[in-house]
Amino acid sequence: MTHAGGPRVVAVDPVAPTRVTLQAAVDVLRAGGLVAFPTETFYGLAASALDPAAVRRIFELKGRPESKPLLVLVDSVAMAETVAHVAEPARDLMGRYWPGALTLVLRARAHVPPDVTARSGTLGLRVSSHPIARGLVEALGVPVTAPSANPNGLAPPTTAAGVLAYFEEGIDLVLDGGPTPGGEPSTVLDMTVEPPRILRRGAVAVRV
């Protein structure tokens, strides 16, 4: 689906994106394409998390190990429950820290593609506080993947130009919302074990 001459770039207001400006990205995702978009930390790579072929494209594009699950963005606790089993402790953390840079690892529901979970049966979920990222998930109506938009092992980009420098092809659309802050990635907390275990320390100092 990649356009001749590289990905299509659409400028989007990072504070108040409109449904009209996000619709091009929604159309790409529904057709199995890949979209780069800004988050509250770095630019991410979106595919529909329920589209196995699109998810495999992300692994191939990034050169990402197949054993490494993908982060998935949802727009609400209700959407999280459509793809994962959400127990009360996780629901409490969602209420306290979402939207924000806290990723919760939960048991995936059976219909979630194994490519997303790296065949682990678990799923890392969060709600982004960035208006474009959250608006994109809301407009699509299903969860999207959100690994950083860089080849495996390289620094994640904070601008659309940085995305394009990495990927002259392979991505179908870039939502240019201006520079992102960078900084630390999301904190990752594994809720499938007791007590919960921090897998990655990051932007949120979580109390469990």
Q: Is residue 2 in some structural domain?
A: no
Q: Is residue 109 in some structural domain?
A: yes
- In sequence order, which ranges of the chain are alpha helices (DSSP H)? 19-30, 52-62, 77-83, 88-97, 114-117, 131-140, 160-166
Q: What is the pLDDT of residues 115-135, one digit of tens each?
A: 999 999 999 999 999 999 999
Say what the pTM is: 0.93
The count of structural domains within the chain is: 1
Residue 5, pLDDT > 90, answer no
CATH number at 34 reads: 3.90.870.10
- Residue 86 sits in which domain range? 8-200
- Which pair of tokens denotes residue 100? 């924000």
Residue 2, pLDDT > 50, answer no
Q: What is the pLDDT of residues 104-118, one digit of tens each?
A: 999 999 999 999 999
Q: Is residue 3 in some structural domain?
A: no
Q: Is residue 184 in some structural domain?
A: yes
Question: What's at 68, amino acid-wise?
Answer: K
